[in-house]
Each structure stands twice: as structure tokens, then as C-alpha cells.
Amino acid sequence: MFASHSGRAMPPHRVTPPAEMTGSRMMDDTAALHPSHARHSDMANAIRALAMDAVEKAKSGHPGMPMGMADAATVLFSSFLKFDPAHPDWPDRDRFVLSAGHGSMLLYALLHLTGYADMTMEELKNFRQLGSRTAGHPEYGLAGGIETTTGPLGQGLANAVGMALAERILNARFGDEVVDHYTYAITGDGCLMEGISHEAISLAGHLQLGKLIVLWDDNHVSIDGPTALAVSDDQLARFRAAGWDVERVDGRQSGEIYGALARAQTTKTPSFIACRTTIGFGAPHKAGSATAHGAPLGGAEIEVARQALGWPWPPFEIPAEVAAAWRAVGARGAEPYRRWRQALGRLEPKLRAEFERASAGRLPARWQEAALAAKRHFLESKPKLATRQASKLVLDRLVPAIPELIGGSADLTGSNGTQADDMPVIKPGDFSGRYIHYGVREHAMAAAMSGMALHRGVVPYGGSFLIFTDYCRPAIRLAAMMRQRVIYVMTHDSIGLGEDGPTHQPVEQLASLRAIPGLRVFRPADGVETAECWALALAHDKGPSLLSLTRQAVSQVRLAAGEENLSARGGYVLAPAEGKRKVSLIATGSEVEVALAARTQLAAAGIPAAVVSLPSWELFAEESAAYREEVLGPGTLRVGIEAGIAWGWERHLGPDGIFIGMTRFGASAPYAALYKHFGITAEAVAAAVKARL
């Protein structure tokens, strides 16, 4: 028995092992694992065989990792993991993340063997083929049981930290009866060499994510050869220093693995279990060397491996007894699932409705009113305000209205305006708050937010400076690929940040973020658009959104009252031309007021110009060609104004347009001086137009 953080004693989810398995180092790996007669080694060999055969058939893939970790994975799935293949979306299931995503066949084999309907033998035979569920690396959404997309090493580990964090946050809100599960991850040497692993383990250790358990495939091999070529870290010491409990086991000894997992479940700190394994275990000539890492073993080697493993069955054939033992493991989840449904039924009805709503990803019924109230506030008070400050005011209304909204910042809370009033902080071991101090760990923050979104039940947002999206990019890209609702609040979004200089001034970032398929980039011009863009980001539950916000104060540009969310179309005519439109001044964010001033100057010179605000290129692209053309002004001289590079603007400006923006890195100076120095002013716009007309 162990005490949950709420103090109530409760049994961890674990299946009592047969006597011969408990804790004995001497225990032979052939000991019976399950009441059926299938032996542990047979169950593990089923994974090995499927991995060898699928990789061989695809003529591509990574057999070594699944073969080495087959024992550990067998113990984890058969004796610890709480899951029900019939209900892959069960909110209280344990999460399993294969951070070493190249070993995808390990996961696919386990999902198949335990009876996930999506993962048929046919799918295994189609490993890595177009349209299969068995993609080269696990892809979220392709099959039940794939909790996240992994492959870029280290990302899965940081996702797992986010999942474990979401679990604790929901546990604090809804209680042990309905939220009480573990997050397990398998990492390889590669994951641990990646920088993101440092951020992730440090954050998890600090927060005391006791229900996070990481198994390390400690096989001493990566692609170039022995890991000793490149790394000599004492990983156990490293994790211990970050506040984890650590153990070392022989990754082939099921008893040792069992003991370590059982102990890991009871600790208040995250747990790290180093499993000493042999890559490609079973393949006589390739085991233990990099040759087993990432290429088919070859027919001859597979044949001798079958003999060595004592696995005489043909490719893709699992003997009935072994198949039945694995199916029994899968079937065992039905009972805890049923009990969980009952517990959910006993929950106080309002709380239960809240749990179901949040788990389904539906925002509260009247949340839009909070965004509208913020918008009305700006329309009435017309403040001159940085959009990051406007965002804080919007959050002051949204946060109380949306209990599942969980904020944070990578040590820039005051600058990002990410902590709403009355937003208590999540502390080590105390997850009742709503705000996370991620520390200076942008990459892990972004990946953890993906993990939180994937977990479901919370809607994460987190802030940093726009320039440091470069430090988050791999995680942002994966969030887009997985279509997760993650909101990045990225402030100080141009040379407008001023004195901090070129190291901090984004120049190419907007263009590069807009290049990520599926990411919505919002660059609101004032408080009104900021409220609108927040509403759009929250409403969008099929992908990530990024808010690009200013450090410097901007004038309110939206003055006309109206409830319609004009930003929803991505772009709109903010100020029509006085007279027949000759020029279209198209701008985003802080440069919209530059466009408005240029419009006034051009009007004085008798040149009618309209101003178009373009807060979201992605939403604009979804509009009809006719709408876009009408907004951008057919037959007019088009001028794009944005304090970034021109990349991408040609789609709005056409071949004859003018772009006013940046062509090189910025400089350190007060922001007004910089706008003048780089020629992003109303005067420069007016002059460029006059020179052309």
C-alpha cells in the first residue's frame, strides 16, 4: 500500500506476480509470468519475432531496440500498465510513451498482442507502408494506444512529463477516484543525450512527479557504434541529482524489472530505471552492435535468431498459447475500466459533468462571453497598450471562465503577461494551482504542453519571447503534426522590443512559423484583435496556435463597436480608402498603426489607400479566393508592412507589390529609433508609394 498525495492509502495498479518472479536476481527469464502456461520468455520472444519479421518485410526499420527491450516491455504491460484495449481513450488509463520512437515495432507488437482492434496482423505486415497504421515512427491518431508521435529523440520523454503533470493537475481537481494513473516512458541513449532531456528531467524532478516512471534502454549502442564514442555521463547520478529515484536492473531479468517497477510506483519522486540490455538480443551475429540498430537483420540472421531464441514459428505467426496469454493481459483491463466507470458514476453530478466535459475537450458553455467582455472593455476604453498587456487582461477574464486552462511561462511571466490575476502556482507535490513556472526551459515547456494536451482534460498555454520559438520549434512542429490544442504566447515580437537588440529581435521567426503546416500564427494589432485571437486560438481544438504579441505599446486601431470576430476571417479591411482605392496597405500587429498613419499621409496627397489588417494568414488562406481578392484590393498597388522579413508576403502582394520590413538583423536602441533606422515608418511607406505611382 502507498499513500497518494491526498493522503489516502490506495493500492497501486499492479498484478501480483507468480512467486518465482518476485525480486530474485537469480530468477530465470523463462519463469511463468501469467496464469496461462505461456512463459515470460515466449511472450517477449513474440515481440522480438514480430519486430524482426516486420522490419525484414518492410526492408526498413529498427529491430534492435524492440528485441533488447522486449523483456522489460513484457513485464510492464503484463504486470503494471493499466489499460483496456477495448477503451483506448479511457481517461484514467496509464500512459505509455515510446520516446525511442525508432523502436516503433515494440509498440505495434504490444498493441497487436494485447488486442487493440486497430493493430491487426495485417497492419504489422504493412509496417512502414503508405496508408498503414504502422508508420515508421509511432504517429498519434493512427491507432489506439499510440499516445504521442515520437521519433525526434527526447520529445517523447518531455511529452511524458507533460502527461504526468496533467494527471496530477486533474487528480487535484477531480480526486483519486477518477484520476489516478501512471505515466511510463521508454527512452534510449539518444533521448538522454538530447538537450531536451535535461530540461524535462529537471522539471519533472523539481515538481516531484511521482507517478512518472522512465525505463532506460541502456544498451550502450547508438547509430555510430558504442555510446562510449560520444557520451560518458553517469545517467543514474544525473537523474538522482535532478530529484529522481533511480534503480539499475538487468533488463533481461523479469524479476528484477518487476521489483524495480513495483518500488517505482510507491515513490513520491519520479523514477528512473536503467535496464541493462543488449540491442538486437537473440540475433547471434548482430546482437550488441550497432548493426542491429536500424536495418533489417537479413534472412539468414533471422533464421539463426529463431533457433537461438527457441522460436520455431514462421514469420508473423504467434502460437495460440502465447497469443492467448497476451490477449489475457489485454483483457485484464476490462475490470478496472468497469470499476472506474462506477467510480465516475458515484462522482457528484456537477463534478462528473465537468470531468466529462473537460475530458472531451469541450470548453465551458459560456466561455466566449469572457472573451467578448474583454473585447468590449477595449472598445470602450481604447487604451494604448502593448498587445502582451492586452493579452494579460484577456486572460484575467478567460482563466476564471475556463477551469481547465493551465498557464505558464519559461521564466518570463511578468514580460509575457501569462499569469492572470488570482492564478495560483503549481508547486512541487502540490498540483492544485493553475500556473506553471517552467523555468528557463522553453523546449521542454513546449513539449510538455503537447503532452498535457494529448493527455486531455487540460488546455495548456505557455509563454516566452517570440525569438525563443527557435528553442521550441521541434515541439511546436510535432504539436502541429498531432493537431493538438496548445497555445504559445510569444511576446516581444519584433525590433519593437528595442534595447535588448538583435539577439532578441525576431526577424525571420514569423516567416518560419508560418511555414509550419497546421500551426496558426496570430499577430493581433491591438487589444480588440488580441481578444479575438485568443478566442480563435481556444476555439481551435484541431491544432496549435501561436500569439505573436508586442512589447511596445500600440494604439487601438479597431474603434468601431461590433461583436463580430473580424479576425476570424484572417484578414479584413480595417479602414477603407476615401475615394476610389488606389493603394492597399496590408499589415499585421504593431505595423497596422504604421499603415493607418501612412493612409492619412497618402490621403493628404490625394492618394486613396485602404488599410488591411491580416492577423492570421492561415485563416485568411481558408477564405474564398473572391473574399481574399476583395480584401487585398484588386488592381491596387499593394504594400505589405511587417517588422520581419519579406518571405511569404509575395502571396499577398503579387509580383508588383512593395514590402516594407526587415532585410537583416536588428540593432540595440530604443524602439522608435529602430523603426526609423530600418525605414518602417508611415513616411517611408508614403514615400515608397509615391515613388511607384
Ligand X SMILES: Cc1ncc(C[n+]2csc(CCOP(=O)(O)OP(=O)(O)O)c2C)c(N)n1
Torsion of CA 489, 551, 426, 246, to 10 degrees: 70
Considering only the stretches 85-93, 97-105, 323-331, 546-554, report the one whose residues sit in contact with ligand X under the rule CB under 6 A.
97-105
Going from the C-alpha of 604 to that of each of 227, 497, 535, 581, the distances in angstroms are: 70, 31, 37, 14
**Binds ligand X (CB under 6 A): choice among 115, 152, 524, 615:** 152
CB of 103 to ligand X, least distance (A): 6
In 3D, which of 567, 543, 547 has the Cα closest to residue 557?
567
CB of 298 to ligand X, least distance (A): 18
Residue 66 binding ligand X, by CB under 6 A: no
Cβ distance to ligand X smaller for residue 152 or 282: 152
CB of 474 to ligand X, least distance (A): 7
Look-up of cell digits 532578441: 504
Residues taking part in catalysis: 442
CB of 46 to ligand X, least distance (A): 20
Considering only the stretches 156-164, 214-222, 253-261, 574-582, report the one whose residues sit in contact with ligand X under the rule CB under 6 A.
214-222
Residue 139 binding ligand X, by CB under 6 A: no
Considering only the stretches 57-65, 385-393, 527-535, 572-580, report the one whose residues sit in contact with ligand X under the rule CB under 6 A.
57-65
Q: Which long-range contacts (CB under 8 A, 24 or more apart) does 338-341 make?
A: 340/90, 340/92, 340/178
Considering only the stretches 70-78, 95-103, 116-124, 203-211, report the one whose residues sit in contact with ligand X under the rule CB under 6 A.
95-103
**Binds ligand X (CB under 6 A): choice among 64, 205, 407, 463:** 64
Residue 188 binding ligand X, by CB under 6 A: yes
The sheet carrying 245-250 orders its strands as 95-98, 183-187, 212-218, 271-276, 245-250
Going from the C-alpha of 204 to that of each of 168, 195, 254, 283, 551, the distances in angstroms are: 12, 15, 27, 36, 31
β-pair type (572-575, 609-613):
antiparallel
CB of 510 to ligand X, least distance (A): 25
Cβ distance to ligand X smaller for residue 225 or 243: 225
Q: Please state the φ and ψ torsions of residue 226, each to the nearest 5 degrees.
A: -60, 140
Contact flags string 573-602 toward ligand X, x per CB under 6 A: ------------------------------
Residue type, 343: A
- Report CA 126 to chain centroid distance, whole Å: 27
Considering only the stretches 146-154, 329-337, 450-458, 486-494, report the one whose residues sit in contact with ligand X under the rule CB under 6 A.
146-154
**Binds ligand X (CB under 6 A): choice among 53, 217, 442, 529:** 217
CB of 155 to ligand X, least distance (A): 8
β-pair type (2-3, 9-10):
antiparallel
Cβ distance to ligand X smaller for residue 181 or 443: 443
In 3D, which of 55, 525, 540 has the Cα closest to residue 298?
55
3-state secondary structure 559-611: CCCCCCCHHHHCCEEEECCCCCCCEEEEECCCHHHHHHHHHHHHHHCCCCEEE
Window 517 to 576, contacts with ligand X (CB under 6 A): none
What are the residues whose beta carbons fall under 8 Å from the beta carbon of 399, sequence distance 6 or more? Answer: 405, 407, 420, 421, 422, 423, 434
CB of 297 to ligand X, least distance (A): 13
Cβ distance to ligand X smaller for residue 471 or 534: 471
The three cell numbers of residue 100 are 525511442
CB of 282 to ligand X, least distance (A): 15
Query: Which residues on neighbouring strands pair with residue 245, listed in sequence order?
Result: 271
Largest CA distance in the chain: 92
Contact flags string 266-285 toward ligand X, x per CB under 6 A: -------------x------
Residue 149 binding ligand X, by CB under 6 A: no
Cβ distance to ligand X smaller for residue 136 or 336: 136
Look-up of cell digits 504486470: 79
**Binds ligand X (CB under 6 A): choice among 61, 144, 151, 408:** 151
CB of 100 to ligand X, least distance (A): 5
Residue 102 binding ligand X, by CB under 6 A: yes
**Binds ligand X (CB under 6 A): choice among 38, 65, 107, 412:** 65
What are the residues whose beta carbons fall under 8 Å from the beta carbon of 451, sequence distance 6 or more? Answer: 148, 158, 159, 160, 161, 162, 163, 164, 165, 166
Residue 293 binding ligand X, by CB under 6 A: yes
- Asked if 160 and 214 count as a contact pair (C-beta separation under 8 A), the reply is yes
The three cell numbers of residue 47 are 515481440
- Asked if 522 and 548 count as a contact pair (C-beta separation under 8 A), the reply is yes
What are the residues whose beta carbons fall under 8 Å from the beta carbon of 248, sequence distance 6 or more? Answer: 218, 236, 273, 274, 276
Cβ distance to ligand X smaller for residue 105 or 394: 105
In 3D, which of 210, 200, 198 has the Cα closest to residue 271?
210
Cβ distance to ligand X smaller for residue 99 or 409: 99
Considering only the stretches 149-157, 306-314, 579-587, 623-631, report the one whose residues sit in contact with ligand X under the rule CB under 6 A.
149-157
Number of residues that bind ligand X (CB under 6 A): 21
CB of 343 to ligand X, least distance (A): 39
Considering only the stretches 220-228, 240-248, 454-462, 577-585, report the one whose residues sit in contact with ligand X under the rule CB under 6 A.
220-228
CB of 503 to ligand X, least distance (A): 25
β-pair type (385-386, 553-554):
antiparallel
**Binds ligand X (CB under 6 A): choice among 10, 223, 440, 672:** 223
Cβ distance to ligand X smaller for residue 149 or 208: 149
CB of 138 to ligand X, least distance (A): 12
Residue 222 binding ligand X, by CB under 6 A: yes
Chain residue whose CB lies nearest ligand X: 188
How far does the chain reach from its first CA to its final CA, in angstroms? 81
The three cell numbers of residue 317 are 505467426
Cβ distance to ligand X smaller for residue 101 or 417: 101
The three cell numbers of residue 301 are 540472421
- Asked if 156 and 104 count as a contact pair (C-beta separation under 8 A), the reply is no
Query: Which residues on neighbouring strands pair with residue 613, listed in sequence order?
Result: 572, 587
- Asked if 424 and 432 count as a contact pair (C-beta separation under 8 A), the reply is yes
DSSP state of 103: G
Considering only the stretches 14-22, 184-192, 366-374, 593-601, report the one whose residues sit in contact with ligand X under the rule CB under 6 A.
184-192
Cβ distance to ligand X smaller for residue 54 or 574: 54
Cβ distance to ligand X smaller for residue 344 or 446: 446
CA-to-CA distance for 321 and 319, rounded, in angstroms?
A: 6
Residue 189 binding ligand X, by CB under 6 A: yes
Q: Which residues bind to ligand X, rule: CB under 6 A?
A: 62, 64-65, 100, 102-103, 151-153, 188-191, 194, 217, 219, 221-223, 279, 293
